[in-house]
Amino acid sequence: MALQQFVRCFIVVIIFLCKACSSRAVNSSIITEGHDAAAGSWPSYAAVVIVGFQFGASLINEQWVLTAASFIPLDTLTRWDPTVYLGGYSLSGSNPNEVSRTLEKIICHPEFDFATLKNDICLLKLSAPVNFTDYIQPTCLASENSTYNNETSSWVIGLGYNNDGTFTKTLQEAKVPIVGNNECKGIFQGSYPKITENMICAGEKDSCLFTYGAPLMTKSRSVWLQSGVLSVSACGAFPSVFTRVSQYQKWISDTVTGTPPGFVTFTSPDGSSPPTTAPNV
C-alpha cells in the first residue's frame, strides 16, 4: 500500500512538473523574414493593449504574463484599464479561441531604469486564471546559467510593422540569429542602450518588425523556451536588444504566485562560434 501511494504521488508530481510550461513544438515553416503564424503556433503569446496600443507578452503560468517594463506607465492600472488577450492571432476577423483578461496587479522590476533600459522586465497578474487549451499554454523560460553561441537560431514572435510602415494584422514569426554580447557591445559603442550582462542581442541590422515585449524563443532539443523580452527594436541600424530572461529566474520565481513557472537550461549545440559572454560593465 505504501509503495502504491508513493508511485501515485510520484506520478502526480511528474504531471505537475510537466504542466509547468509547454514544450509543444510549433510549425516548422518559419522563415527568416516576418511571416504570418498559423493559429495555435505559439500558444504562450499574449497581447497587452493599452489605450489602443498593442504590445507583446507571454503567458508563464495560469495567471501571470511576462513583458517589458518600458512601455507601461506608472498609472497604467488606475488610468488606462489595460487588457491582455490570449489565444488570438489576428486583428481582423474572428478569433474563436481567444480569451481576454484585465489586470489585477503590475509588478515591474524594482531596479528598472527607463533612461538606460536596465532591468526592462515586468510581470502582469491577470484578473482571473485562464484555462489551458491547444491555443493557450504557458511558455518555458530560460534558466540561470543558460548559454548561447553566436548565430544560435531563435525566433521573435509578435505583432509589429510591415516594411511599408503599416501595422501587421496577423501574428508574425521571424527567425533571427543571436549576436554575442561582446560583439553587440561593439556595435552599440557610443549608442543607446549600453549593453549589459542582463541583455541579449539578436537579429539582422534591418530588423524592425516587432513591438516592445515580444518574446524571443529558442528551441532546446524538443522544448521551446523564452530567452528574451524585446526592449529595443533598432530598425535599420543595429540588432534588436532583449532583456535576458535567464538573469531574472530568482526575481520571477519569487514574484509569481500559483503554479511555479517552468525553467529550462539552454546550452547551444557544440560549434566553433564562441559563447555570448557578457561584457564588462
In sequence order, what DSSP letters do the residues of 63-104 get, joined into one string? SEEEE-STT--TTIIIII--EEEES--BSSS--TT-EEEEEE
pLDDT tens, position by position, 68-127: 999 888 777 777 889 999 998 776 767 889 999 999 999 999 999 999 999 999 999 999
Q: Average the pLDDT over 195-200 and give the result.
A: 96
* CATH tag for 45-126 (out of 3.40.50.150, 2.40.10.10, 3.30.450.40, 2.60.40.10): 2.40.10.10
For residues 231-247, give the mean pLDDT: 87
pLDDT of residue 236: 58
Return the DSSP state at 194. P
Task: Report CA-CA distances (Å) from 180 to 106, 133, 209, 269.
Answer: 31, 36, 21, 15
The architecture in CATH of the region 29-38+139-246 reads Beta Barrel (2.40)
- pLDDT tens sequence across 14-55: 333 445 787 554 543 443 356 777 677 799 999 999 988 889
Q: Which residues pair with 157 in a beta bridge?
A: 173
Identify whether the C-beta of residue 160 lies closer than 8 Å to the C-beta of residue 210: yes
| 276 or 157, higher pLDDT | 157
pTM: 0.84
Distance CA 235, CA 136 (A): 30
pLDDT of residue 139: 97
What average pLDDT does the segment 151-173 reach? 79
Q: State the average pLDDT over residues 265-274.
A: 66
- Among 66-80, 166-180, 203-217, 234-248, where is mean pLDDT lowest? 203-217
| Contact between residue 108 and residue 121 where contact means Cβ atoms under 8 Å apart | yes
Residues of the chain with CATH 2.40.10.10: 29-38+139-246, 45-126
pLDDT-wise least confident of 159-168, 239-248, 263-272: 159-168
Residue 178 has pLDDT above 50, yes or no: yes
Cα 115-145-226 angle, rounded to 5 deg: 65
Side chain identity, residue 226: Q
**207 pLDDT higher than 70:** no
Residue 280 clears pLDDT 60, i.e. is over it? no
